[in-house]
Structure 1
Amino acid sequence: MKGLILKDIYSIRIRQKTYVLLFLFLCVFGYVMKSPGYVGVMCIVVFLTTMLSLFNSDQYYHWDTYAASFPLGKKMIVQARYMLVIIMTLAIALFSIVISGVTAALLGMSVADQVLSTVSGCMAIPIFTGIVIPVIYKLGVEKGRIVFMMLFMIPFLALTLLKDLIQGTAVEKLLVNLQQNPNGQVIIAGILLAVSILVLAVSYMISIRIYSNKEF
């Protein structure tokens, strides 16, 4: 499995200069816009785009056909991809926490609030990838790219609609209090963590079943 994970990491490293320049730009932009959380959000977008690129490369070079000749088994190939998601999520979360915390300190904002907000945002990585990966295994990269775009549009539209529905109600006051209260932010982060673990676990089982039934 280590070799499979390294294969993906080496593929990502090919574009490492581009990612470094992008992240530096995001850090400066987040400071100028006085929005430390902006870096974390864009890191999520970059990661999901990277995952799509990995699947696209596998498809272009017929990696799955080649890997079928290995004595590894299809289950391990899927396991390696999900392990990469976990590793990269932790790495991006750490990077985002440091950057958002430093930016918040420079701007005189609450570091703890920004760190908690960043942690909550990073939980979107396993949730989104957990939805996209089974779609890619079942329908291909192009359909996965469509789902990827929908994952950003649907929550935005849903939140906009929900905001209008709960405006001026007790639910709105409760949510505002949760966001402004450190304990409430911890609760939100904990709920998102639990949801992300559940989504990733269910996604993994679905992907195993789909990939095991594929012929290459």
Structure 2
Amino acid sequence: MKGLILKDLITLKSYGKSLLLIFALFLFLGLSSGSPLSGAMMVMPISIMAAYVTFSYDKLSNWDCYACTMPMKRSEIVIARYFVTIILSLLFFAASLLSYLFTAVIMQNFSEVYLLIPSYSVLFGLIMILISLILVLNYKFGPDKARIALILIFILPSIFTALITQSNVPMPVISESTIMLFCTIMPILGIAALLLSYLMAAKIYQHKEF
């Protein structure tokens, strides 16, 4: 399994080289928006894209046809991909956190520091849930058809937010205890979604023909 993880990391070495660029992007967005935390939130789309791009590389190289001839379980091939995706997400989270700290120091603005843990808890849960969906769809339909779901993940929230804003619907008042409960539950839901996603993906991959 270590070889499978290493293979994906080598394939995605361009992402590793881009970490400084990603960090700079987080930093720029934080400085330009006047909010150190807003730039750090960009970790979400970047992590989701990383979950998708590995499948595109595999399709171009016909990796699955070759992998299935090797003396290893198909479930090991799947779980290695999940480990790689989690590793990349954690790297992006680290870049995001560093960008927040740098931006906050440059701007001398630490007013959002109390939001850091709750925000990252919710982000982690959301990213794990969306990654779980992307991985299963890629194993089921392949990267070409899964690209549609990827586009919808980015577009639908924007459309929904715009509709809510234009409709002038009053937002419900949510208590602080409810918000904290939500922040606590989200990482648990994210991990549960990831485990369920792995079980589904392993079953799909087990019966898939290449």
Shorter-chain TM-score tier: 0.7 to 0.9
Structure 1 residues 72, 39: CA separation in 2 closer, same or farther (over 3 Å shift)?
farther
Distance 2:192 2:158 in 1: 22
Which amino acid letter does the alignment assign opposite residue 32 of structure 2? V
Which amino acid letter does the alignment assign opposite residue 124 of structure 1? L
Give the deviation of 1:47 after TM superposition.
2.2
Distance 1:166 1:209 in 2: 45
Structure 1 residues 184, 36: CA separation in 2 closer, same or farther (over 3 Å shift)?
farther
Q: Is the 8 A contact 1:100 1:118 kept in 2?
A: no
Which residue, out of 118, 128, 131, partners 1:129?
131
Distance 1:166 1:188 in 2: 25
Structure 1 residues 166, 76: CA separation in 2 closer, same or farther (over 3 Å shift)?
farther
Give the deviation of 1:10 after TM superposition.
1.3
Give the deviation of 1:197 after TM superposition.
1.4
Asked if 1:48 corresponds to 2:48, the answer is yes
Partner residue of 1:148? 150
Secondary structure at the aligned position of 2:115 is classed as: helix
Normalised to the residue count of structure 2, the TM-score between the two structures is 0.85
Give the deviation of 1:212 after TM superposition.
0.4
Which residue, out of 189, 193, 213, partners 2:207?
213
Partner residue of 1:107? 109
Q: Is the 8 A contact 1:31 1:107 kept in 2?
A: no
Residue segments in structure 1 that go unaligned for 5+ positions in a row: none
Secondary structure at the aligned position of 2:42 is classed as: helix
Give the deviation of 1:15 after TM superposition.
4.1
Give the deviation of 1:48 after TM superposition.
1.9
Which amino acid letter does the alignment assign opposite residue 21 of structure 2? L
Q: Is the 8 A contact 1:74 1:212 kept in 2?
A: yes
Distance 1:29 1:158 in 2: 23
Q: State, as a whole percentage, how many aligned pairs show the same letter.
A: 27
Which amino acid letter does the alignment assign opposite residue 94 of structure 1? A
Alignment of 1:1-216 (within 5 A): 1-105=1-105, 106-159=108-161, 167-168=169-170, 172-174=172-174, 177-178=175-176, 185-216=179-210
Q: Is the 8 A contact 1:8 1:54 kept in 2?
A: yes
Q: Number of residue pairs matched?
A: 208
Q: Is the 8 A contact 1:36 1:114 kept in 2?
A: no
Structure 1 residues 184, 112: CA separation in 2 closer, same or farther (over 3 Å shift)?
farther
Give the deviation of 1:85 after TM superposition.
2.4
Give the deviation of 1:185 after TM superposition.
4.8
Q: Is the 8 A contact 1:101 1:115 kept in 2?
A: no
Query: What are the superposed Cα offsets for residues 136-180 of structure 1, whole Å, 9 maximum, x if unpaired?
Result: 1111101111101111223344455567889446xx111xx43xx
Larger CA deviation: 105-114 vs 198-207: 105-114
Higher RCO (C-alpha under 8 Å, 6+ residues apart): 2
Larger CA deviation: 185-194 vs 57-66: 185-194
Residue segments in structure 2 that go unaligned for 5+ positions in a row: none
Q: Is the 8 A contact 2:121 2:184 kept in 1?
A: no
